[in-house]
Amino acid sequence: MIYTVTFNPAIDYVVHLPGSLELDAVNRTVQEEYLFGGKGINVSSVLRALDCENTALGFVAGPTGRWLEDGLRDQGVHTDFIHLTEGVTRINVKIKASEETEINGMGPQIGEADMEQLYAKLDCLKAGDALVLAGSIPSCLAGDTYEKIMARLDGRGVRIVVDATRDLLVNVLKYKPFLIKPNNHELGEIFGRELTTDAEIIACAALLQSRGARNVLVSMAGDGALLLDENGNTHRMGVPKGKVLNSVGAGDSMVAGFLAGYLQKGDYEWALRLGTAAGSATAFSLGLATREKIDALLNEF
């Protein structure tokens, strides 16, 4: 079974304006939609689209939390959220006008007792399961939360995927995560340099691998992706043709596709191909990737 963790889920309320956002005035929308967001939730949603069974873990609160939970279940995503007694799950307002503006909510506070409930759920994971830890840690939690989770599961045979940045990523390498997925800019930030060639990206990815990462997947937007696998092989994948409509969730979709592909065939080349197709399918869509879109793009490689 695959499990994802989203500490601070959100309902993204997306509004489209006909022109510019006018301050101190009434702005009327021409289109609206809402999306259930959070990096782990995005991974769960795309895994579900690929018919890959998984469970979304995390924290929800208040009526917005119940709405998010019910909405995900209606989409076929299995959830096992912890319900906080205070606060509400956040709503993020995304304004699509001549320029894009975002107002992100704060989210509820997560206490020590709440974290103990999460740890109890994670203690049930067994050898062969996979766990996805994606995104930043809320300010109400300790910055070493990922480390604590991985230390707790160390030696249990759980494949852990970490999609995070800077110290949050580097500090977990000692626990030998199955997969890490920085993009090329994030990889460069870790080493304080700009990476402009495949050779430079491979060299930095190899350094992270030498510190403990088993597989390093580097996404590069329109330039595709590069994988340095645990067997010492380098895999390079371009991207199919398409118009980019949305960058939100593309990296999460790549993680979902890669993990689904690896669990299907145990083959890293196939995992990278499916991951790249899933990431591109989201980038070429207004929402997250669908199975139909992913399958269509797979035929273009």
Q: Cα separation of 115 and 120, whole Å?
A: 9
The yes-or-no answer on residue 252 being catalytic is yes
Contacts of 30 (CB under 8 A, 6+ apart): 16, 17, 18
Identified catalytic residue from 51, 198, 252, 267: 252
DSSP 128: T
Q: How many CB atoms lie within 10 A of CB 80?
A: 12
**Residues 25/155, Cβ–Cβ less than 8 Å:** no
CA nearest 23: which of 123, 120, 101? 101
Round to the nearest angstrom and report the end-to-end CA distance of the chain: 29
Phi, psi (rounded to 5 degrees) for 217: -110, 120
Which two tokens mark 29? 């929308």
Best CA proximity match to 183, nearest among 226, 136, 243: 226
Asked if 79 and 72 count as a contact pair (C-beta separation under 8 A), the reply is yes
From the centroid of its chain, how far is CA 21? 30
The stretches of 22-111 forming alpha helices (DSSP H) are: 39-49, 62-74
Catalytic residue numbers read: 252
